[in-house]
Structure 1
Amino acid sequence: MVRRDNYSVQFIEKQQAALVKCDWQDCPPSEHEIIGRTLVSLVSSGSERGAYMDYFGGTTYPLETGYAAVMEVQEIGVAVTNVKVGDIVFAMVPHRAYNRVKDDEVIHIPTGMLPEHAVIGRFPAVSMTSMIHTRIRPTEVVLVTGLGVVGLMCAEVMQHCGYKVYAFDPNLSRREVAQSCGLRHVYGSLDDVPEVKGVAGLAMECSGRENAVYSLIANLRKGGELYLIGVPWFRSTDTFAQELLLNIFYGYIHVYSGWEWSLPDRPKDFDPNSNYNSIKTAMEWIRDGLIKVEGIYDIVPPSECAGVYESISKGTLQKTCVLFDWRDLQK
């Protein structure tokens, strides 16, 4: 094929994003390699925000960003057998117009599925790790705090799998989106539903805020479980830990990291669950209408990335998530 210039979204300095021309290996794919043109890529308002804001310090710029895209396969290596030119696949690759990826690092998109919907399958997989690990089974009550896209997808997945889900976010527009996606119990605060206090067996914390953790711990039943899915990027309260520890101690609460990569990326002999399988399953559920994603996203050209990340940092996004559409850039 005729090579073209490649472009990627990068954080060029702290709190500065830009679409820039990037290095591109102008050569055919290696034996097990795939080259694809990106159709859409997904912006993570959690992980990418951390690097954009440099919350932990020490980030080296410029930094390429992004970890989820749907691509059209354009070239394949001589040993590639699982895809062919023209296939539409998902891959965990950066926000780039063109990407190279190994043949065992792609997932086929279900036939007839919109790329815009398929790429969102990356988000339910974040909390599906915690759901796979938990001992709490349907039809127990589950509490979900934070209705950004990770929390929204978490609540939808749990409800689909038979749990009785109560979802919480102080942001009215987020609550309205959650209700439009079919969530039955959506509130601004746990104080709005005192009847669930001491009833819930499982809590999924997706906001990354300490106050949410305090509220969840205080509302779980004895022996309940709490999964910390949202990354606590920065300190948001001056509350001491003693109250938290007291509730954990006398409530016999089990607290776990919600780190999604505690599952392997691919199934193993004695561990059939994996992140790739979670993404594939989530895409199928979205395709079948079991998880609702219509209307939760904005789609913009990557040239508008600076405004997107500024909105994420300020909490002013109009929709729950943002996708970059690369197709016009490649004409």
Structure 2
Amino acid sequence: MIQTNQAIKFTGEQQASLVQCDWEPLPLAADEIIGRTIVSLISNGSEMGAYMDYSGGMKYPVETGYAAILEVLEVGEAVTNVGKGEHVLALSPHQAYSRVKFSDYIPVPAGMKPEHAVIGRFPAVSMTSMIHSRIRPTESVMVTGLGVVGLMCAQVMQHCGYEVYAFDPNEGRRATARSCGLRHVYASPDEVPGLKGTAGLAMDCSGREEAVYSLITNLRKGGDLYLIGVPWYRSTEKFAHELLRSIFYGFIQVNSGFEWSLPRHSSEFHPNSSHGSIRKAMEWIRDGLIQVENIYDIYAPSACGEVYAGIADGTLKKTCVIFDWSLV
């Protein structure tokens, strides 16, 4: 019987701690499972928003995290797709135990390493934009920002037949992208003058205005721009006029890259879904079609304070960080 839980929480601005928290001993609902967390993965972009309080007015403490691999401990009587001891990917926070409804987890393909399966959460972020886009393979696509979301985005697009050009000013991130098999990796589009005016699709995963400006000037007429990275704060002094003029005369369609514009689950007339994207992404990782080896570091949850500080100040070298809950 679970008596107490442990969770990583933001206890103040730029403060993260592993804390004890209550576990409510409620009867297990028919459509629920209870799982023990094996690993959980930090979302550098989304979690930094709360950690740094970019928007102002954040009320602490704050629960954080939304990608975890759970080992199933108990199953409700209506649950038929997983059993005790099996693994699921859940949209759960960084905590030792989670209670999850049938509709909120995805079974992990047999034989996958938990630390690989949990990364399957992140290709799905940009797959929403790819599914919505009017631009089809084999056109050129530009991806800016090679954090975990951008790195997964570029690999997914290349696997699906697009000619992918990936950009990031950080040389370490560019080296990681090349090691994952991306063929065209540069610091900025200025290094590829032949691309100007030919790319059909641009996907910004950085959330930075300067990246969006660089993409707009390289799209062909009638191209698509998807804003996937959250623009947490202003990063330039430029006026909007240049951007609006480029959009207007370039006949550019600008779209939100909001992941949840797809339904969570498929239906008869809506076959694409967020859970479907996560499921497919895990399969591609399992089959080696998306590379994830050597893109992450593993830490104990008790090290969360130094981990989030390292992400904030840019001292962590790997693309993403995984917490290993067996160390709790």
> Shorter-chain-normalised TM-score: which range?
over 0.9
In structure 2, C-alpha distance between the alignment counterparts of 1:150 and 1:317, rounded to whole Å: 16
Measure, in 2, the Cα distance between the counterparts of 1:211 and 1:194: 18
Of the structure 1 ranges 119-128 and 72-81, higher mean CA displacement relative to structure 2 is found in: 72-81
1:80-229 to 2 correspondences below 5 Å: 80-229=79-228
Shift of 1:28: 4.1
Using the alignment, how far apart are the partners of 1:151 and 1:298 within structure 2?
18
User: 2: CA distance between counterparts of 1:101 and 1:189?
Assistant: 42
Q: Deviations over 1:57-100 (max 9, x none)?
A: 12111011000100000011223222211111111011010000
Q: Deviations over 1:226-246 (max 9, x none)?
A: 000000100000011111111
Aligned-residue RMSD, C-alpha: 0.9
Aligned residue number for residue 301 of structure 2: 302
Alpha-carbon offset, residue 27 of structure 1: 4.1
Post-superposition Cα deviations, 1:121-161, rounded to whole Å, max 9, x if no partner, equal 00100000000000000000000001011000000000000
Q: Distance in 1 between matches of 2:103 and 2:136?
A: 33
Counterpart-to-counterpart distance in 1, 2:116 and 2:106: 14
- Aligned match of 2:267: 268
Q: Measure the CA separation in 1 of the matches of 2:280 and 2:51.
A: 30
2:33–2:75 CA contact under 8 A, matched in 1:
yes
**CA deviation vs aligned residue, 1:166-209 (integer Å, no higher than 9, x gap):** 00000000000000000000001111000000000000001110
Give the distance between the partners of 1:105 and 1:130, measured in 2 at CA. 21
Give the distance between the partners of 2:30 and 2:109, measured in 1 at CA. 26
Alpha-carbon shift at residue 314 of structure 1 (Å) = 1.4
Amino acid at match of 2:128: T
Q: Is the 8 A contact 2:296 2:321 kept in 1?
A: yes
Residue 30 (1) aligns with residue 47 (2): no
Structure 2 alignment gaps of length 5 or more? none
The yes-or-no answer on 1:316 pairing with 2:311 is no
What percent identity do the matched residue pairs reach?
67
Aligned equivalents of 2:166, 2:96: Cα separation in 1: 36
Q: TM-score, normalised by structure 1?
A: 0.98
Structure 1 residue runs without a partner (length 5+)? none
Alpha-carbon separation, structure 1, partners of 2:140 and 2:102: 41
Code of the residue aligned with 2:137 in structure 1: it is: P
The TM-score, its normalising length taken from structure 2, stands at 0.98
Instruction: State how far apart, in whole Å, the 1-side matches of 2:26 and 2:2 are.
Output: 8
